[in-house]
Amino acid sequence: MPHTLVSEQVFETEAQALGIDQNSIVVLYDRWGVYSSPRAWWMFKVMGFDQVYILNGGVPAWKKINLN
The pLDDT score that the predictor gives to residue 40 is: 93
The pLDDT score that the predictor gives to residue 18 is: 96
pLDDT-based confidence at residue 2 (cuts at 50, 70, 90): low
Give the closest residue to 54 by CA, choosing from 66, 42, 38.
Answer: 38
Give the residue, 32 or 67, on which the prediction is more confident.
32
Could you tell me the pTM of the whole model? 0.81
- The CA angle 32-39-35, to the nearest 5 degrees, is 15
Buried b (16+ CB within 10 A) or exposed e, 2-27: eeeeeeeeebbeebeeeebeeeeebe
| DSSP strands (E only) in the chain | 26-28, 52-54
Q: pLDDT of 6-43, one tens digit each?
A: 999 999 999 999 999 999 999 998 887 778 899 999 99
Residue 36's DSSP bridge partners are none
